[in-house]
Structure 1
Amino acid sequence: MDKNTLEKLSAFERIDYAIAMFVREKIHGPILNRTLSRINRGEMMLLLIIPYLAYAAWKEILPYPWWIVIPYAGIIAYANDRFVLFLKKLISRKRPLVTVAGKVDQNPDMKHSFPSAHASNSMTAALILVFLFGFPEWFLVISLLAGIGRLLSLHHFPSDVLGGWVIGTCFGSLGLFLGRWLLPFFFGTT
């Protein structure tokens, strides 16, 4: 980004850009990027959820059976994901890989940075799992790590991640409200 363009940005956008530049110059690298890209997937969250779910079902510490937990959290996270993808296409902000690192890529996803779907989806799922289904609070850390990983791999600006967490918190809260109302009505409590 040239100096004239940088001067036209708001203070908030300059901070976003400065953090992304710092990450590019001091932290970002091919090994870290490859590692974070593999770790920072929804499948990795499932690798943590399924063993805990099996343990909790075996110890009978869940308020609902596992066959309710996974579909309910999945439906709310899916609704969140569709909303985030709509916003990404509507806003069409280029990713830091393009604007900061100068990566040339014809992939249309490279111009869909805001908000971070990883941050949003992981926050939605973590809130529902922790506060509705009684998972340990450390599951919230997964969402924090997902967002930080997206910053370090230059897939998102800080505002993209913060926006994702805010949207994920809204959908997670909606999921908590609906779950606390619907689940006892349809399934009772165990």
Structure 2
Amino acid sequence: MDKTISDKLSLFERLDYAVALFIRENIHGPRLNRILSQINRGEMMLLLIIPYLAYAAWNHLLPYPWWIVIPYAGLIAYANDRSVLALKKMISRKRPLVTVAGKVDQNPDMKHSFPSAHASNSMTAALVLVFLFGFPEWFLVLSLMAGIGRLLSLHHFPSDVIGGWVIGTCFGSLGLFLGRWLLPYCFGTT
């Protein structure tokens, strides 16, 4: 990193840049990027959720009807996503692909790095699915994989991913609170 840039950055920013630079020089590549871009999509999480949901519904493992699980988790994740996107536009931090890898792109999304929507949305959904609807705890690992994938593809700095997980935890907790209050009232369960 250039000495003049290094002098202007805080300790956290220097750590972010150091990690991103290490990833760019030692891990990042076109093949890994292509694989991660396919795996690290919301649709992939649905490919894991839907079979488990079908299994759990068939075996009566869900505390609520299956047709409540996806809309409720989706609604909480959607509220999280809209909030994260508003934050991204307010903060407008450039992605490591631009600042570290030097990629030039006219896509306005390239200047919206903080916080990571993938990390935040996946954490929100995982918390609601695991702690409200009884999905297995390994669904939480999906959120960790989403964040790590965003780091390795240089779409986010470590602080972007950590910030996303923190925001996702807040929205997931809010979803748990609302769900534990609202769903028993709506379905007459205790």
What TM-score comes out, normalization by structure 2 length? 0.98
Report what 2:98 is aligned to.
Answer: 98
Distance in 2, Cα, partners of 1:145 & 1:160: 14
Identity of aligned residues (%): 86
Matched, 1:150 2:144: no
- Equivalenced residues, count: 190
Distance in 2, Cα, partners of 1:114 & 1:18: 17
Q: How does 1:34-73 map to 2 (within 5 A)?
A: 34-73=34-73
The letter for the 2-side match of 1:182 is L
The letter for the 2-side match of 1:87 is L
Report what 1:121 is aligned to.
Answer: 121
Which stretches of structure 1, 4 residues or more, deviate above 3 A after TM superposition? Answer: none
The letter for the 2-side match of 1:13 is E
Q: How does 1:1-190 map to 2 (within 5 A)?
A: 2-189=2-189
The letter for the 2-side match of 1:152 is L
Contact in 2 for aligned 1:63/1:189 (Cα 8 Å): no
The SS at the match of 1:53 is: helix
Contact in 2 for aligned 1:64/1:189 (Cα 8 Å): no
The SS at the match of 1:97 is: helix
* Structure 2: 5+ residue stretches without partners: none
Alignment RMSD: 1.0
Q: How much does 1:5 deviate? A: 1.6
What TM-score comes out, normalization by structure 1 length? 0.98
Distance in 2, Cα, partners of 1:150 & 1:128: 22
Distance in 2, Cα, partners of 1:51 & 1:111: 36
Q: How much does 1:189 deviate? A: 3.4
Contact in 2 for aligned 1:36/1:153 (Cα 8 Å): yes
* Structure 1: 5+ residue stretches without partners: none
* Deviation by residue 1:7-40 (Cα, 9 ceiling, x = unmatched): 2101111001000000000000000001001100
Q: How much does 1:3 deviate? A: 2.5
